[in-house]
């Protein structure tokens, strides 16, 4: 009887304790729902047709930056550019390059032969690339070892397609010193296939070198015409590749190849805000999210012509804004907290590269950088994943914060498949410790479904489902990351 009363008493105590907890739980739930609402408000504005898909250098950019700049100013951030002439907005100048002219001429035994546009296509990543009278070195399909620099230097590497639709072999040959790479389309690919994929606009920072790699493609018919009368045929070259004694060898001909592009200058901007820390000079924490998307990406008779980029990446800059709001309202961290909304991520992380090449603070003062991209995917309760796991020294301390915040991190490197597809990769290339921590990758199948369906399409808009439960939880987690890495007692200053 006494034992029963004791048990009843303990249950009463538990119930009473839970009753006391209910208002706090309800308040936390309301707070998260309110946060989800604010995130959705930002997304609806930024991903509306009025913003025209947020393409760099357009009126859509101007509206985007005016909206974000006003929000950040009202929240209480200050300009992070450290440039009185360009407060808040850091100029980034891009060049757009569209393939223009293409020429492929060859000489063998004193005889000159020019391939027609139906037989050859030359492309450059720069303004103009030219090779004159360079010996042609046949390298096969490159299934064996890569020829050395001494073999490739000053020569055009002739590569068989071999049914492989890739660019790794061509890049490897160029990196090893080949003057140009000419790929023979002896598989299923046609010159029309290559042109459809490769004759698109390319983009670069204006300060980058104007030169570029020279890469070409030639049809089987064109290659047979080049070899006619030489005692060698394309068929015999293909047969030689399969023999154990095959080695790269000169074909007794030279090539003069040229490709040019037409350039357009695009003037765009990064947006940089800052929450000054209590201990200036103790380093900084950087939060990054790209504001840009593809603008008007299709034409009538398509019903939807705008790539609005609701998930990619209106959701990211919305989260960036709400992280700033929460940090401003609390106690200031020791360190400065920088907020960077980058331009031209979709064009090759060019805004992130521009920031790193002309930063508002020494890069070695950034103790941690956290990228936020396409985070409106996972429901509440989804675990976190780290894109860039094992690539910086941040993982262990992120795990500590996760335990404190009762968030689980998946023990998998699956998310690293996406590490080269986000701004954090550009920052890593400049030795900035950068990761992307997100529930959007906590269940990798959800991210894969997004890439297969709405990614970079007009359907990535607010008419489709936007899941903000996980995004709201991730905002709270990034606030915790800011406070942890912004604390000089927990994370020593660089060089300290």
Quickly list DSSP for 30-69. Answer: HHHHHHHHHHHHHHHHHTSGGGTT--TTSHHHHHHHHHHH
Res. 1 pLDDT band, cuts 50 70 90: very low
What is the token pair recorded at 487? 């604390």
Give 496 or 78, the one with higher predicted confidence.
78
pLDDT at position 495 is 60
Q: What percentage of the chain reaches a pLDDT higher than 90?
A: 80
Count Cα neighbours of 262 within 13 Å in the Cβ-side half-sphere: 6
Give the H or E element holding residue 140.
Answer: strand 128-140
Residue 20 in domain: no
Q: Report pLDDT digits (tens) over 446-462.
A: 999 999 999 999 999 99
Mean of the pLDDT values across residues 349-357?
Answer: 98
Which positions ≥6 away from 430 have C-beta within 8 Å?
353, 356, 357, 363
Q: Report the chain's mean pLDDT, rounded to a whole number.
A: 91
Mean of the pLDDT values across residues 371-399?
Answer: 97
Name the nearest CA neighbour of 472 among 425, 418, 407, 417.
407
The reply to whether 82 and 106 lie within a common domain is no
Instruction: Among 263, 289, 310, identify where a domain stops.
Output: 263
The reply to whether 245 and 103 lie within a common domain is yes
**Phi, psi dihedral angles at 269 (to 5 degrees):** -150, 145
Residue 496 in domain: no
Render the burial of 220-235: b for 16+ CB within 10 Å, e for the rest: bebbebbbeeeebebe
Instruction: Among 209, 240, 263, identify where a domain stops.
Output: 263
The reply to whether 359 and 280 lie within a common domain is yes
The reply to whether 433 and 451 lie within a common domain is yes
Residue 380 in domain: yes
pLDDT at position 31 is 55
Mean of the pLDDT values across residues 369-373?
Answer: 98
Q: Report pLDDT digits (tens) over 245-281.
A: 899 999 999 999 999 999 999 999 999 999 999 999 9
Res. 201 pLDDT band, cuts 50 70 90: confident
Distance from the first to the final alpha carbon of the chain: 65
Q: Report pLDDT digits (tens) over 209-223.
A: 556 899 999 999 999
Mean of the pLDDT values across residues 163-174?
Answer: 87
The reply to whether 341 and 467 lie within a common domain is yes
The reply to whether 118 and 131 lie within a common domain is yes
The reply to whether 113 and 259 lie within a common domain is yes
Instruction: Among 225, 245, 263, identify where a domain stops.
Output: 263
Residue 327 in domain: yes
pLDDT at 5 > cutoff 80: no
Name the nearest CA neighbour of 64 among 73, 53, 75.
53
| Burial of residue 363, with CB atoms counted within 10 A of its CB: 0-12 exposed, 13-18 middle, 19 or more buried | middle
- Rounded distance, CA 108 to CA 228, Å? 10
Residue 43 in domain: yes
pTM of the model: 0.82
Residue 417 in domain: yes
Res. 89 pLDDT band, cuts 50 70 90: very high
**Tally of domains within the chain:** 2
The reply to whether 204 and 331 lie within a common domain is no
The reply to whether 87 and 163 lie within a common domain is no
The reply to whether 157 and 39 lie within a common domain is no
Q: Which domain holds residue 463?
A: 33-94+266-485
The reply to whether 276 and 373 lie within a common domain is yes
pLDDT at position 494 is 72
Residue 368 in domain: yes
Render the burial of 278-303: b for 16+ CB within 10 Å, e for the rest: ebeebbbbbbbbbbbbbbebeeeeee
> What distance lies between CA 214 and its chain's CA centroid?
24
pLDDT at 120 > cutoff 80: yes
- Rounded distance, CA 454 to CA 325, Å? 30
pLDDT at 166 > cutoff 80: no
Residue 392 in domain: yes
- Rounded distance, CA 490 to CA 488, Å? 6
The reply to whether 253 and 284 lie within a common domain is no
> What distance lies between CA 16 and its chain's CA centroid?
51
Supply the CATH number for residue 163's domain.
Answer: 3.50.30.30
């Amino acid at each position: 009887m006494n034992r029963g009363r004791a048990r009843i008493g303990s249950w009463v105590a538990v119930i009473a304790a839970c009753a006391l907890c209910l208002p706090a739980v309800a308040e936390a739930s309301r707070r998260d729902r309110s946060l989800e609402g604010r995130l959705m408000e930002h997304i609806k504005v930024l991903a509306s047709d009025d913003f025209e898909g947020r393409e760099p250098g357009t009126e859509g950019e101007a509206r985007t930056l005016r909206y974000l700049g006003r929000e950040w100013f009202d929240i209480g951030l200050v300009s992070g550019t450290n440039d009185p002439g360009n407060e808040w907005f850091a100029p980034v100048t891009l060049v757009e390059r569209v393939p223009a002219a293409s020429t492929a001429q060859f000489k063998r035994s004193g005889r000159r032969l020019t391939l027609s546009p139906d037989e050859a296509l030359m492309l450059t990543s720069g303004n103009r690339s030219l090779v004159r009278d360079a010996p042609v070195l046949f390298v096969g399909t490159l299934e064996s070892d890569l020829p050395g620099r001494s073999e490739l230097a000053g020569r055009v590497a002739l590569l068989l397609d071999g049914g492989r639709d890739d660019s790794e072999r061509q890049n490897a040959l160029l990196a090893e010193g080949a003057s140009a790479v000419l790929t023979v389309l002896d598989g299923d690919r046609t010159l029309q296939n290559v042109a459809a994929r490769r004759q698109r606009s390319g983009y670069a920072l204006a300060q980058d070198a104007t030169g570029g790699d020279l890469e070409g493609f030639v049809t089987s018919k064109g290659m047979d015409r080049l070899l006619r009368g030489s005692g060698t045929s394309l068929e015999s070259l293909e047969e030689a590749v399969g023999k154990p004694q095959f080695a790269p060898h000169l074909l007794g001909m030279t090539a003069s190849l040229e490709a040019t592009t037409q350039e357009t200058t695009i003037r765009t901007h990064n947006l940089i805000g800052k929450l000054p820390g209590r201990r200036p000079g103790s380093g900084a924490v950087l939060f990054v999210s790209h504001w840009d998307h593809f603008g008007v990406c299709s034409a009538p008779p398509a019903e939807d012509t705008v790539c609005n980029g609701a998930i990619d990446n209106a959701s990211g800059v919305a989260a960036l804004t709400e992280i700033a709001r929460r940090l401003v309202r609390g106690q200031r961290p020791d360190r400065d907290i920088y907020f960077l909304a980058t331009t031209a991520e979709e064009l090759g992380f060019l805004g992130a590269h521009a920031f790193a090449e002309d930063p508002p603070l020494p890069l070695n003062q950034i103790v941690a950088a956290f990228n936020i991209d396409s985070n409106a995917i996972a429901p509440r309760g989804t675990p976190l994943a780290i894109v860039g796991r094992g690539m910086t020294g941040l993982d262990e301390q992120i795990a500590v914060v996760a335990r404190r915040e009762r968030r689980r991190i998946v023990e998998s490197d699956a998310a690293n498949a996406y590490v080269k597809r986000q701004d954090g990769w550009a920052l890593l290339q400049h030795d900035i410790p950068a990761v992307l921590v997100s529930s959007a990758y906590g269940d990798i199948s959800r991210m894969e479904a997004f890439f297969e369906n709405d990614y970079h399409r007009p359907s990535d808009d607010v008419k489709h489902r936007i899941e903000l439960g996980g995004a709201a939880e991730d905002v709270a987690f990034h606030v915790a990351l800011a406070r942890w890495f912004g604390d000089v007692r927990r994370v020593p200053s660089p060089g300290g």
